[in-house]
Structure 1
Amino acid sequence: MTTTLTFSDIQAERPTRDGLAQVYAAINAMLDSPPDPLAHALDRWDLERRRYDTWAALVHLRFAQDTTSETARADRDYADALGPVATDHETQLKRRLLAHDRGAVEAVVGAHVVRLWESDVTTFDPAIAADLEEEAKLCARYTELLASAKLTVDGHVTNLSGLAPYGESLDRDLRHAAEQARWEFFAQNADTLDGIFDELVRLRTGMAAKLGFDSYIPLGYRRMRRVDYGPDQVAAFRDQVATHVVPLVGRLLEQRRAAQGWDRLQSWDENLIDAAGNPKPAGDHDFMIAQARTMFDRLDPDMGEFFAMMADGGFMDLKNREGKAGGGFCTSFPTEGVPFIFANFNGTHGDINVFTHEMGHAYQNWKSRDLPGIDVLWPTMEAAEINSMALEFLTYPQMALMVGEDAADRFRRMHLIGSLAFLPYGVCVDHFQHEVYANPGLTPAERNALWKRLEARYMPWRDYGDLAHPAKGGRWQAQLHIYRLPFYYIDYTLALCCAMQFWLSSRRDPADAMRRYSDLCGEGGSAPFTELVATAGLISPFADGALEDVVREAEAVLAA
């Protein structure tokens, strides 16, 4: 791998409405003109989409890096307004291509991409352009509001991302204080958050009606480009989690309560997984980057070389700071074929989790960068999350580099328990969204009551004590995906079912597991989710008993 590209080298010309119109007029003219107009036109279209997506990625990344910047906010507003215009052009061209000789189109882009386009064209009409712009603005308001939080804990002021170390403290009173600070912020802003969500549900339901759908649910699935499964399969998977995982997590939490001598398990106790204190990185940001070079070199030389390029080129922003958007993500610049990792390190084990997770996304995007066509550079998101979550498990043997030899086994145990505990929460978020969009007229109080009911099913151990806001059902307001990325969250749970199968394989044959993982990354988005799962030799999460083997193995490992 030889590249001297740096993040500062990434440039993108700002598109305009007139410029987009001229570009698409030129592409349509190519389709009208022989010889061989189809392949040439598709090549030009792919190039223009890469340019547009690189610009949009830069704009939204810079806003996430500093939500207080007036320039970044103005650029984001411009991009949010231009987005529906670009989508309209894309949709019209996809419709024209779908009306073309299907065999000829498939010969250039493949049958899977044609199927994606067939779904895409049902998700947009100029009639919803203004709604899409308003949706983007509302999502940005949510991001800005959460990024503005200034919380005082133990005499220190921090943002929401910075609460994590306090929430995992061995001092139970400090954990409680951290959760009090978190939920006081949400209680103080509850009306605003309810108002934003009211508008989002109204907008999304209205867009679905304009496009001819009975509710937002089928539109939401199509916006996620799900072409090989639907809500019924997802509901069956949620039932599998309730049957096989919820009882195990309940037993693990009861064991923890008894071992700690607590009379009852409170919500602020759940994040303290290790009685000796959750293992955390053995050093700061610079230490982690240095250790990661060795970790990825040992795991796979190709991955090590890729990580060195990312680190040396400045394609990561990992330090938490005031005004920075919360969370972590991986974006990419398709004109250059290089990804970028965004996170908020806070000194907890979560830094390692998010780092390896986003590195998995980045490595996949790099491995598939030479696939033909922008539509297959990324898989659909549930498949993409396999690449990220599997790497969290595949790095287990190297974890002493990050936390120290004495804490490595404890870290692996903690991560495994945390992964199992995530599954019930993840499906609860998904079930909540299905109910909300099936019943868009729910009031804020009714939504809270719905969350409480679902929480009782999937997390029956949850006890918020004196934390009034989550106790009344307001916990969902802290989940950004519910606001910004409807129906995304189930993807993490579907992927985790597959990622834990890589964990099982790696325990028996590490080299084979790593080879199959790398091959899966290289497949990118060349096939739908269930086909990629099968190609990697994994059991589909929708198959009966898909979770049984991993749950059985996890229980045995944790009992040892």
Structure 2
Amino acid sequence: MMFVEITAETPSKDSLACAYAAINRLLDAGDLAGVIAAWERLRREVESWSALTHLRFEQDTADEAAKAAKEYRDELAPTATHHEVALKRRLLAHPDRAAVAAITGAHALLLWETDITTFAPEIEEDLQAEAKLDSRYTALMASARIEIEGQTVNLSGLAPFLQSLDRAVRHRAEAARSEFFATNATAFDEIYDHLVTLRHGMARKLGFETYTELGYRRMRRVDYDAADVARYRAEIVAHVVPLVGKILEARRQEHGWDRLYAWDEPLTDAKGNVEPAGDEAFMRASAQKMFDAMDARLAEFYRMMNENGFLDLDNRPAKAPGGFCTSFPTVGLPFIFANFNGTHHDIDVFTHEMGHAFQAYQSRNLAGFDYLWPTFESCEIHSMSLEHLAYPQIGLMVGEAAAERYRRMHLIQSLAFLPYGVCVDHFQHEIYANPQASPAERHAMWKRLEAIYLPWRDYGDIAYFGGGARWQAQLHIYGMPFYYIDYTLAECCALQFWVKSRHDYTQALRDYVALCGRGGAAPFQTLVAEAGLISPFREGALKDAVAEAALVLAA
């Protein structure tokens, strides 16, 4: 199937009510199998329409029709959730729970028990308002037009300048980025203030003290809690922060800089960060060769994605920043969205999103809708592990002469990401524990946490970011609360896959493909164990992987 052939019927409040009424009648008649089958079809249809609508808006945030469709989708979403939760309540209360579990799997029931605590009709309008604020943030980010070195670029297009070998250019780029946020400070603060207030209000309406517990439940975290995450953050401080500090100090000395500034951190390689060896067309063709050499299943899958239009990789004006993978469960096919800008980030994002897409494809035929994707921290294992598993063939993307430099650069950046990732997470815990904080107080929180997790960070004369506002550039803080520790948990697992691949690449790849095929059929720590990995919450999981990385980097 070609991507352009995918269509999805737009649902309405009336059509959803009619469809769920029919499903409930089947339940009244005792037809459990019929209920689950009909519900599966409906959920896949609604999700495919929702994904397609969101994708079209992200591809062109200035398109009024796409914007209107996205707004309609956001307004309808609470109605769909209302019907879903009501049916989940009925199924969970079914007198023959074992019969329900026999059809859906026991893990689905555990997920539903979490889901039903995250919604009530009283918060429908709040959910609509939350979605509108998220869209406003996305549009504001996409509106950036930054003048630098005689060019006008958006935030994604600024990346090459942020990594320039010329230190003065890097400084100007970081200053320009900070200035965009400073110029729009009132809007960024206002959007986030409304989001925090809304989320705290929803939590109270649902019976929670703060949004934190609700946020964890919305993320469907069923086998760990905030206390586990806090201990994990402490492990990062103990084992990773010192190593990254040493790496950055060595970089400062190598360049002969008196001080290492924030705009120096992105320059990982002294010769200049390794870039793709060609343009987007080169990348597409080289990726096919890379996957051909890695695994026949990956190769066949990528060929289909590339030839059938399921990749949108170029950076364009009004295109939303960032990268993501979405999917259309009615046809079992995923889609990759990215913003190539000619930096190594193109390779990182491409292999990352391919990991998501491959998992979605491998698990497309799992019986339950709830199992098509796992929870987010498990999803990120697929994506971040593929970044590392691509190492042996990465010369096809960057040229063989630069391959080892890329591998070293990527490993360093993977390690350096961990402290930042947990800083973002800790910040959100503090935000929702103090929902009445002012914008100035939020900036102070970020600045204080940066000193713990990123003690080397020095913004020099860049006042706005230096004052604690750098967090505003992290879209997850606005649109996906508490979705960030997931990347760091997954990186801990991805590093374990990397270690395994150094000793037995074939077995590591076999375990990786098997994990992708499991989809979301189990909670995070169970999936990790089944893949032969150690849970990040267990002592030693992070320490051992980081120690191996340190040995490799010291060689």
Pairwise CA distance, 1:259: 0.4
Matched, 1:16 2:12: yes
User: Which consecutive segments of 4 or more residues in structure 1 shift more than 6 A?
Assistant: none
Ranges in structure 2 where 5+ consecutive residues have no aligned partner = none
Q: Name 1:484's counterpart in structure 2.
A: 479
Distance in 1 (CA, whole Å) between partners of 2:207 and 2:505 is 49
The code of the aligned residue for 2:20 comes to Y
Question: Which secondary structure does the structure 2 equivalent of 1:341 belong to?
Answer: strand
Q: Name 1:61's counterpart in structure 2.
A: 55
Pairwise CA distance, 1:541: 0.3
Question: Which secondary structure does the structure 2 equivalent of 1:331 belong to?
Answer: strand
Deviations 1:202-252 (A, max 9, x none): 000000000000100000000000010000000000000000000000000
Contact 1:274 1:410 in 2 (8 A): yes
The code of the aligned residue for 1:132 comes to L
| Among candidates 146, 152, 158, match of residue 141 of structure 2 | 146
Question: Which secondary structure does the structure 1 equivalent of 2:78 belong to?
Answer: helix
Q: Name 2:22's counterpart in structure 1.
A: 26
Pairwise CA distance, 1:477: 0.5
Distance in 2 (CA, whole Å) between partners of 1:179 and 1:157 is 15
Q: Name 1:317's counterpart in structure 2.
A: 312
Q: Name 2:186's counterpart in structure 1.
A: 191
Deviations 1:135-185 (A, max 9, x none): 000000000000000000111000000011001110000000111110000
1:338-349 alignment runs, 5 A limit: 338-349=333-344
Pairwise CA distance, 1:191: 1.0
Distance in 2 (CA, whole Å) between partners of 1:13 and 1:553 is 51
Question: Which secondary structure does the structure 2 equivalent of 1:243 belong to?
Answer: helix
Contact 1:122 1:211 in 2 (8 A): yes
Distance in 2 (CA, whole Å) between partners of 1:549 and 1:478 is 32
Distance in 1 (CA, whole Å) between partners of 2:548 and 2:17 is 56
Q: Name 1:202's counterpart in structure 2.
A: 197
| Among candidates 62, 72, 85, match of residue 66 of structure 2 | 72
Pairwise CA distance, 1:549: 1.0
Distance in 2 (CA, whole Å) between partners of 1:61 and 1:333 is 11
Contact 1:56 1:79 in 2 (8 A): yes
Pairwise CA distance, 1:513: 0.2
Pairwise CA distance, 1:98: 0.5
Distance in 2 (CA, whole Å) between partners of 1:499 and 1:559 is 20
Question: Which secondary structure does the structure 2 equivalent of 1:547 belong to?
Answer: helix
Question: Which secondary structure does the structure 1 equivalent of 2:541 belong to?
Answer: coil
Distance in 2 (CA, whole Å) between partners of 1:310 and 1:316 is 7
Distance in 1 (CA, whole Å) between partners of 2:186 and 2:467 is 14
Q: Name 2:328's counterpart in structure 1.
A: 333
Deviations 1:435-477 (A, max 9, x none): 0001111110000000000000000000000111111000000
Q: Name 1:38's counterpart in structure 2.
A: 32
Contact 1:288 1:402 in 2 (8 A): yes
Question: Which secondary structure does the structure 2 equivalent of 1:275 belong to?
Answer: coil
Question: Which secondary structure does the structure 1 equivalent of 2:240 belong to?
Answer: helix
Ranges in structure 1 where 5+ consecutive residues have no aligned partner = none
Distance in 2 (CA, whole Å) between partners of 1:284 and 1:498 is 31
Matched, 1:278 2:273: yes
Pairwise CA distance, 1:317: 0.3
| Among candidates 3, 7, 22, match of residue 7 of structure 1 | 3
Q: Name 1:559's counterpart in structure 2.
A: 554
Q: TM-score under structure 2 normalisation? A: 1.00
Distance in 2 (CA, whole Å) between partners of 1:400 and 1:119 is 45
| Among candidates 365, 368, 372, match of residue 367 of structure 2 | 372
Pairwise CA distance, 1:508: 0.2
Q: Name 2:432's counterpart in structure 1.
A: 437
Q: Name 2:527's counterpart in structure 1.
A: 532
Deviations 1:251-283 (A, max 9, x none): 000000000000100000000000000110000
Question: Which secondary structure does the structure 2 equivalent of 1:496 belong to?
Answer: helix
Pairwise CA distance, 1:548: 1.0
Distance in 1 (CA, whole Å) between partners of 2:552 and 2:412 is 10
1:106-505 alignment runs, 5 A limit: 106-505=101-500
| Among candidates 76, 82, 86, match of residue 76 of structure 2 | 82
Distance in 2 (CA, whole Å) between partners of 1:373 and 1:62 is 27
The code of the aligned residue for 1:240 comes to E
Contact 1:240 1:545 in 2 (8 A): no
Question: Which secondary structure does the structure 2 equivalent of 1:487 belong to?
Answer: coil
Pairwise CA distance, 1:502: 0.2
